[in-house]
Amino acid sequence: AAKQPPAAPARPLQVIKIDLETNSVVVGEDEIRELEATLRGSGVDKVAVVGVMGAFRTGKSFLLDLMLRYMREKALKVAGPQGVQPAGFGEQGAEGAECEVPEWVLRNGVPDWAVRCGSSLVEGREGPDGIAEGDDGLRGFQWRPGMDKCTEGVWVWSEAFICKAGDEDVAVLLLDTQGAWDARMTKEQSATVFGLTTLMASRLIYNVSKQIQQDKIDNLLYFTEFAQAALRAQQGRSVVAPASDQRVRPFQTLEFLVRDWPHYPDKSSVDSARAMMISHLDQYMDPKVSEDTKSIDSLSDMFDNIDVWCLPHPSLTIERDAWNGSLEVIEPQFWRFVDRYLDKIFGPEALQAKTTLGTPLTVNTFTAVLKQFIVAFKDAAPQAQTFSEAMETSTSLLARDSALQKLRKRLEEEAKSSSKALEPEQFERVAKDAIEEAEADFRSKALYGSEEGISKANEALKVDVKQEVRRFREENERRLEASLSNLTDVSLAAVAAFGVDKVSDLTCDWWSGFCRDISTDLSFGYTAVALFVIYS
């Protein structure tokens, strides 16, 4: 038999690179191919992706290295370049060789998973002699002490960790990203890096320092909206078809992960602290507490689930450039909270197979979908627009979108409210009402831009409205005819069901023509706005 080349060690793979010379985004073709081989060899069908994004220099990569340590111990199996192995493979202690537990491990309540790979977290640490390796040559996501930013582009760990999501096995991938809101990033870089992370993650961890804050929510919204627009634009040539006609939210779980949360009382238990975390998020989500829930409402429309966790500060010592990685300095409280956090997010209840528009991503489709998304972002590459142009395009497009949805919802509700069709005069009355409502909605939202721009958008809205009303009218007439021709109750119900089905086809879902048409324009608008946010 031909000799196999030695397998590469497990390491982070850079799937999105930034070419600094041309300032463009480059796809890591070889890296994606390697990932694909790992997934196909994993023996499971579905994939879950945990991605971390957030401002630069906030300990994202460091946290991912802790996640790696956790997974090496706690996953059922690990799939990598060497095939599939049981977790904890090859570690001292696992084979019965007793190792001495340092006193501080017991004193500080350090979880087993955190110290099994060595009592210093050195893997991935960047120093003067390059990137350090841990015990047994273990590697990690690259992190760096100090002020200078470290991670560039998007990285995926080359191993997949097999865990339970509900009662099925999934291959968990970990994804690290470049720090956000860095003034050196160009428009294409930021749109691609954060949009892509949002699209690929089944759990998007938004790492924030100290507290959530409104501006952080607003910033996140720009990128998720951009990702949503790219998703719509990409629908036309997708390999994944929507699972059903039901409206599906584009993304799964968004989690705010607050680092250095200063408000836990000494020795507070995680259970008692959970209420505090939730009330922190509620300050922004609950209309009874928050004055402005607009942005978070938009996020709620895009994500199935919004979650929160707050970690205390690990220790001031680790912020120093000279910290040697020793885990001895980390406070007991940090261990308590990080241990429970990882149990939660990697436990079978929270872990979810990644779906795109309701269809699960499989080990066979994962990399094809990843590449498609990268292409979608390239196609939607932002055009040079001034800030006011961008605001004008995006606000009036959004106003038009919102008004049309209002009209559809109203007519749909009327159609569903009774099993009988409306009399023609009655339909016209309802339609007139709905049109007035939609117009008013548009006027209340299209506030930004020139008279000319707004009235152009208004004209376009009128055309859309006419077309929609015509469709509903025809549908109503069909139902009316059916009811007039003396059908039995059963067949009448069938016709009504067809009608409702037809109506639901017309709602503005991800794959509908209207959404596709405007999404490209929208994405130009969003991106230009996003750009200004970053630069200003």
Ligand X SMILES: Nc1nc2c(ncn2[C@@H]2O[C@H](COP(=O)(O)OP(=O)(O)OP(=O)(O)O)[C@@H](O)[C@H]2O)c(=O)[nH]1
Binding site for ligand X (CB under 6 A): 56-62, 143-145, 149-151, 179, 259-260, 311, 313-314, 318-319
Specify the residue, 49 or 154, whose C-beta has the smaller distance to ligand X: 154
Specify the residue, 314 or 360, whose C-beta has the smaller distance to ligand X: 314
Specify the residue, 223 or 526, whose C-beta has the smaller distance to ligand X: 223
174 part of the interface to Mg ion, by CB under 5 A? no
- Name the residue whose CB lies closest to ligand X: 179
Q: Phi and psi of 235, rounded to 5°? A: -55, -35
197 part of the interface to Mg ion, by CB under 5 A? no
Q: Name the minimum Å distance from CB 52 to ligand X.
A: 8
**CA-based nearest residue to 296, from 209, 197, 400, 214:** 214
Specify the residue, 315 or 483, whose C-beta has the smaller distance to ligand X: 315
Specify the residue, 182 or 304, whose C-beta has the smaller distance to ligand X: 182
Q: How far apart are CA 183 and CA 174, in angstroms?
A: 26
Q: Name the minimum Å distance from CB 141 to Mg ion.
A: 7
3-state secondary structure of 226: helix
Q: How far apart are CA 36 and CA 34, in angstroms?
A: 5
Residue 314 binds what, of Mg ion, ligand X, none (CB under 5 to 8 Å, by partner type)? ligand X
**CA-based nearest residue to 47, from 297, 365, 399:** 365
- Compute the residue count for the chain: 536
Q: Name the minimum Å distance from CB 12 to Mg ion.
A: 10
- 3-state helix/strand/coil string of 371-419: HHHHHHHHHCCCCCCCHHHHHHHHHHHHHHHHHHHHHHHHHHHHHHHCC
Q: Which two tokens stand for residue 92?
A: 């001292």
Residue 153 binds what, of ligand X, Mg ion, none (CB under 5 to 8 Å, by partner type)? none
Residue 260 binds what, of Mg ion, ligand X, none (CB under 5 to 8 Å, by partner type)? ligand X
Strand 168-177 relative to strand 24-27, pairing: unpaired
Contacts of 213 (CB under 8 A, 6+ apart): none
Specify the residue, 80 or 145, whose C-beta has the smaller distance to ligand X: 145
Residue 410 binds what, of Mg ion, ligand X, none (CB under 5 to 8 Å, by partner type)? none
Q: How far apart are CA 308 and CA 194, in angstroms?
A: 19
Q: Name the minimum Å distance from CB 315 to ligand X.
A: 9
Q: Name the minimum Å distance from CB 313 to ligand X.
A: 6
Q: Name the minimum Å distance from CB 319 to ligand X.
A: 5
* In contact, 26 and 15? CB cutoff 8 Å: no
Site string for Mg ion, 30-69 (x = CB under 5 A): ------------------------------xx--------
Q: Name the minimum Å distance from CB 86 to Mg ion.
A: 29
Specify the residue, 12 or 314, whose C-beta has the smaller distance to ligand X: 314
- Angle, vertex CA 253, rays to CA 404 and CA 233, nearest 5: 45
- Site for Mg ion, rule CB under 5 A: 60-61, 150-151
